[in-house]
Chain A
Amino acid sequence: MPEQVLAAVLIPLFPLAAFVLAIAVSRRRSVLSAAASIAGIGAAFLLSLWVLRGQVLSPGPLQADIPWLAAGSIRISMGILVDPLSSLMLVIITAVSLLVQVYSLGYMKGDLGFGRFFSYLSLFSFSMLTLVLADNFILLYMGWELVGLCSYLLIGFWYQKPEAASAAKKAFVVNRVGDFGFLIGILVLSILSGTLSYGEATRFIAGGSLAPGQVTLIALLLFCGAIGKSGQFPLHVWLPDAMEGPTPVSALIHSATMVAAGVFMVARLYGIFMTSADALRVIASLGAFTAVFAALIALAQDDIKRILAYSTISQLGYMMLALGVGGYAAGMFHLTTHAAFKTLLFLGAGSVIHAVGTNDIWKMGGLGRRMPVTAITFFIAVLAIAGIFPVSGFWSKDEILQAARASGHLELYIVALVTVFLTGFYMARLFFVAFAGEPRAESHAHESPVVMTVPLVILGVLAAGLGLIGSPLLGQDIQRFLAPVEEHIGGLNIAVLVQSSALAVVGILAAVMVYGLRIVQPETLRRAAGPVYVVLKHKFFIDELYMALVRGLFFTTTAGIAWFDRHVVDGVVNFVGAASKWGGDVVRRGVTGKVQSYALVVVWGLAAALLVIFL
Chain B
Amino acid sequence: MADAVLFYALGGLLLVSAALVVTVKNIFHAALYLALALFVVAAIYVTLGAYFLAAIQVLVYIGAVVVLAIFVINLTRTVTGAPVTLSRRWVIPAALVSALTACLIAVALLKAADSSPASPPATADATAAIGRGLLGQWVLPFELVSVLLLSSLIASIAIVGKDREEER
Contacts and interface: CB of A to CB of B under 8 A. Distances in A.
Complex contact flag A–B (Cβ < 8 Å): yes
Contact of A600 (B90, B107, B108): B90
A604 interface: yes
Given A596-B87, A600-B93, A607 B100 contact: yes
Contacts of A519: none
Contacts of B105: 610
B52 to A, nearest CB: 32
Contacts of B155: none
Contacts of B97: 600, 603-604, 607
B99 to A, nearest CB: 9
B94 A600 contact: yes
B101 A610 contact: yes
Nearest to B105: A610
A611 interface: yes
A614 interface: yes
A603 B98 contact: yes
A610 B111 CA distance: 14
B104 interface: yes
B148 to A, nearest CB: 23
Nearest to B99: A607
A109 B8 CA distance: 122
Contacts of A597: 90
Contacts of A611: 100, 104
A579 interface: no
Interface size range of chain B in the complex:
10 to 19
Contacts of B98: 603
A607 B90 CA distance: 16
A607 B104 CA distance: 8
Interface in B115-139: none
Contacts of B87: 596
Contacts of B93: 600, 604
A606 interface: yes
A402 B107 CA distance: 106
B22 to A, nearest CB: 12
B104 A614 contact: yes
- The prevalent SS among residues of B at the interface is helix
Interface in A565-615: 596-597, 600, 603-604, 606-607, 610-611, 614
Interface in B20-74: none
Contacts of B101: 603, 606-607, 610
Interface size range of chain A in the complex:
10 to 19
Contacts of B107: 614
Contacts of A604: 93, 97
Nearest to B98: A603
Nearest to A603: B97
Contacts of A610: 101, 104-105, 108
Contacts of A603: 94, 97-98, 101
Interface in B75-101: 87, 89-90, 93-94, 97-98, 100-101
Contact of A596 (B90, B100, B104, B108): B90
B74 to A, nearest CB: 23
Given A603-B97, A603-B101, A614 B108 contact: yes
B102 to A, nearest CB: 10
A595 to B, nearest CB: 11
A597 B94 CA distance: 10
A603 B102 CA distance: 11
Contacts of A614: 104, 107-108
For A600, A607, A614, which residue has the most chain B Cβ atoms within 10 angstroms? A607
For B89, B90, B97, B98, which residue has the most chain A Cβ atoms within 10 angstroms? B97
A606 B105 CA distance: 11
A262 B83 CA distance: 103
A411 to B, nearest CB: 93
A611 B108 CA distance: 11
A573 to B, nearest CB: 38
Contacts of A606: 101
B10 to A, nearest CB: 27
A220 B158 CA distance: 96
Nearest to A609: B104
A9 to B, nearest CB: 92
Contacts of A600: 90, 93-94, 97
A549 to B, nearest CB: 67
Nearest to B108: A614
A148 to B, nearest CB: 77
Interface in A487-531: none
A2 B47 CA distance: 122
A591 to B, nearest CB: 15
A606 B101 CA distance: 8
B103 to A, nearest CB: 9
A186 B97 CA distance: 75
A611 B87 CA distance: 27
B77 to A, nearest CB: 22
A604 B96 CA distance: 10
A165 B89 CA distance: 77
Interface in A337-383: none
A569 B167 CA distance: 66
A606 B99 CA distance: 12
A604 B108 CA distance: 18
Interface in A35-78: none
A611 B102 CA distance: 11
A610 B104 CA distance: 7
A614 B104 CA distance: 8
A604 to B, nearest CB: 6
B113 to A, nearest CB: 15
Nearest to B94: A600
A445 to B, nearest CB: 102
A607 B107 CA distance: 13
Contacts of B90: 596-597, 600
Nearest to B107: A614
A598 to B, nearest CB: 11
Given A603-B94, A614-B104, 10 more contacts: A596-B87, A596-B90, A597-B90, A600-B90, A600-B93, A600-B94, A603-B98, A604-B97, A610-B104, A614-B108
20 contacts: A596-B87, A596-B89, A597-B90, A600-B94, A600-B97, A603-B94, A603-B97, A603-B98, A604-B97, A606-B101, A607-B97, A607-B104, A610-B101, A610-B104, A610-B105, A610-B108, A611-B100, A611-B104, A614-B107, A614-B108
Nearest 8 interchain pairs by C-beta? A610-B104, A607-B100, A603-B97, A607-B101, A607-B97, A596-B90, A604-B97, A600-B93
